[in-house]
Amino acid sequence: MAFLTKLSKISPLARVCLSRCMSHVPENTVYGGPTPQTADRRVTLNQLKQKYKKGEPITFVTAYDYPSTVHLDITGIDICLVGDSASMVVHGHDTTLPISLEEMLVHCRAVARGAKRPLLVGDLPFGTYETSTSQAVDTAVKVLREGGMDAIKLEGASPSRITAAKAIVEAGIAVIGHVGLTPQAISRLQMALQEAGCFSVVLECVPAPVAAAATSALRIPTIGIGAGPCCSGQVLVYHDLLGMLQHPHHAKVTPEFCKQYACVGDVIKKALSEYKEEVNNGSFPGPSHTPYKMNPDDVNGFFKELEKLGLNKAASAATTAAEKMNTTQRPDTERK
C-alpha cells in the first residue's frame, strides 16, 4: 500500500516510464504456460527479442489442436497462435464471430498439451474484451490460467483496443497486436502499440513497402501474413500451408498470400477413398491387421462349445473367419 501511495505522487511522465518497465513479462521466462518452462525448451520473450535484435526471422504458425502442435514442436516453430480463425477452419462457420471463449479454451488446452517448445498465444474472441478494460483483463487471465497460454493477441488499433492492450500488459500479461495497415497509419501504430507495451504486432494483408516501412519504424518485431518478406517474421495457418483447405472460404481456393508446402488434403482424400473401397470389397482388415489370435486348441474348443449350444450358424461363421485369417482349420469337418 505504501508503494502505491508513493507511485501516485510521481510525475505523469515518470509514471508512464515506470509502468512500462513493470508491465513487461520477465525477460527470462513467460507468464503462465502449460508445462514447466526451462531455458533449453520453452521459447521465451527474451529469446524472441534476441532473435529480433540479431535480424533472425521469427517462425509463427496458427494451429488449433494437439496433433498439429506436436508437429510444430518437433520442427522447432517459435510461436503457436490459437486463433479465432478456428471458427472457420475447425467449426465450419463463415466468419470468426460465432466462436465463444469456452470453445477457444478447449482449443487452447489441447494445443498446450502438445507444445513443449513454442511460445503459446491465444486469441481473445469477439465479444470478450470490448466492453471494458476489466472485461479484457479478466478474459486474458482466463486464457492464460485455464487455457495454458503464454500470451494473448488483440486485433485492431482503435483507441479502445489500445486501452485494452495497455490494461492487459499492466496486468503482467504479454500481448501481440494485430492490424491491417495503410501508409498513413504507420506513425500512429508505432506510438500506440509500443506505448501500450505490446511485444510484437501482426501485419495482415498489406503491401510489402508498407510492411517494410512499419518494420523499420517500430522497435518491436512485426509478423507478416500476406505482408511481404520484410517483416521480422512470418505466420501462416497450419491447415493452409499444408493444403488441408476444407473450411467454407478456402475449400477450393488457397489465399493468394499462402504458399502450400504440401497437398495434405489430396492425400487425405485418397486415403479415405482407398479405405472405403477396401471395406466395401472385404480386403480390409486382412490377416496383418487382425493381430488377436487363438491357438488351435482354443479355436476347436470354441467351435465345439458353439455347437453344444445349438449355435451352428455361429460356429460356421467362426470357422469361415478362422480360415480367412489363416488361424487354423477344424480337424473334424463333419457338421452335426
d(CA 92, CA 182): 31
Phi-psi region of 206 (alpha: psi -120 to 50; beta: other; left: phi over 0): beta
Angle at 177 between CA 186 and CA 259, to 5 degrees: 90
Sign of CA dihedral 312, 314, 315, 316: positive
Contact 202, 235 (CB under 8 A): yes
Nearest to 318 by CA among 334, 336, 294: 294
27 given a catalytic annotation = no
Catalytic residue among 130, 170, 204, 307: 204
Nearest to 152 by CA among 200, 87, 99: 200
Cell of 118: 513454442
Q: Is 320 exposed, middle or buried (0-12, 13-18, 19+ CB in 10 A)?
A: exposed
User: Active-site positions?
Assistant: 204
